[in-house]
Amino acid sequence: MSIASSPGRRSVLIGAAAVAAGLSREVSARPATEGPWAVELFTSQGCNSCPPADAHLGRLSKRPDIVALAFHVDYWDYIGWRDPFASRETTERQRAYARTLKQRYVYTPEMVVEGIGHDTGRDRAPIEALLARAQARATRRATPDLSRSLGGPLSIKLDAFPLGGRVADVTLAIYDRRHTTPVKSGENQGRMIENFNTVRHIELVDRWDGTARSWTIPGARIGPTQGMAVLVQETDHGPMIGCNKLEPAYSG
């Protein structure tokens, strides 16, 4: 695999190819008239450029109008530190975005905003500009209604939405709210790395044709303190049509 560098980010060329603890009543995330908006960070504990973007995502994760998700990629594991949260699946998600957004390479850190644009995520202004762009283009959102009782299944509901004959991907991401990891080797050796909203499982729930639908996800798949996000986007990692989150109470 060929590796390239660019200022402020680590790059690799593309291949050819609130369920609060102890709460017993049902809680839900109801559709909003605008947003929330999806921000996906592709990061690695093995990359010394990533901690500022990790911290930025942590701040974004506290905003109710943002679905903030961290996807840990595995292509930096060879340089001295194996990221415990990295997977081939998350790396492939980043590569799919790179193809859709016509990037020459994938890099870390990279924040993809609403599936329409990307930046390193190290600074606030470019991400806010991408969010403003997403908000300006959205005349209507297919925001999923999420609900779950403690330990029970997750219910996902979508009202009818005009897709114009297209189909959309309905994707579930299950994530840990926060991790602190002492890094013992590699570029971040000796640092305590804080990660937020670390995705531990992602799955395509269904392909959706825009008719009113509902789905049920077994509760056994979701840990008692994990967050849940549902992304609705044009097929093959296109622009977001809607998203929402449901997560336990958190302070930090």
Name the nearest CA neighbour of 121 among 129, 98, 80: 129
Q: How confident is the model at residue 138 (pLDDT cuts 50, 70, 90)?
A: confident
Burial class of residue 172 in the structure, from the number of CB atoms within 10 Å of its CB (0-12 exposed, 13-18 middle, 19+ buried): buried
Is residue 51 a part of any domain in this protein? yes
Asked, for residue 66, whether it belongs to a domain, the answer is: yes
Percent of the chain with pLDDT over 70: 85
Nearest Cα to Cα of residue 120 among 111, 129, 130: 111
Q: Place 26 in a pLDDT band, splitting at 50, 70 and 90.
A: very low
Residue 85 lies in a domain: yes
Region of residue 82 (phi > 0: left; psi between -120 and 50: alpha; otherwise: beta): beta
Return the pLDDT at 13.
45
Q: Please state at what angle helix 51-61 crosses helix 124-137, rounded to 10 degrees.
A: 50
> Side chain identity at 230, as an amino acid letter?
V
The helix/strand/coil state of 56 is: helix
Residue 187: the pLDDT is: 96
* pLDDT score at 198: 98
Instruction: Map tokens 């997977």 to a residue.
Output: 87
| Tokens found for residue 159 | 């009202």
Domain membership of residue 240 (yes or no) is: yes
- Type of residue numbered 18: A
Q: pLDDT tens for residues 77-101?
A: 999 999 999 999 999 999 999 999 9
What was the pLDDT predicted at 2?
Answer: 26
For β-strands 145-148 and 227-234, DSSP reports them as unpaired
Tell me the two tokens of residue 209: 């044709």
User: Residue 1's pLDDT is what?
Assistant: 25
Q: How far apart are CA 30 and CA 33, in angstroms?
A: 10
Name 11's bridge partners.
4, 107
Half-sphere exposure of 94 (CA within 13 A, CB side): 32
Average pLDDT, integer, range 216-245: 96
- What does the buried/exposed string (b/e) look like for 32-69 if buried means 16 or more CB atoms within 10 Å of the residue's CB? eeebbbbbbbbbbbbbbbbbebbebbbebbeeeebbbb
Q: What is the pLDDT of the chain when averaged over all its residues?
A: 88
Domain coverage including residue 130: 3-15+24-246
Name, of 12-21, 194-203, 218-227, the range with top average pLDDT.
194-203
pLDDT at position 117 over 70: yes
Residue 47 within any structural domain of the chain:
yes
Does residue 252 belong to any structural domain of this protein? Answer: no
Helix (H) or strand (E) holding 125: helix 124-137
pLDDT of residue 249: 66
pLDDT given for residue 149 in this prediction: 86
| pLDDT reported for residue 28 | 54
- Mean per-residue pLDDT for 113-122? 97
Q: Could you tell me what percent of the chain has a pLDDT over 90?
A: 80
Domain count, the chain: 1
pLDDT greater than 80 at residue 5? no
Q: Is there a domain that residue 251 lies in?
A: no
Is residue 208 one of the residues assigned to a domain? yes
Q: What is the mean pLDDT of residues 205-209?
A: 97
- H helical segments located in the chain: 51-61, 88-100, 124-137
Residue 128 reports pLDDT greater than 90: yes
Give the model's pLDDT for residue 251.
45
What integer pLDDT is reported at residue 137 of this predicted model? Answer: 86
Query: Is the pLDDT at 33 greater than 60, yes or no?
Result: no
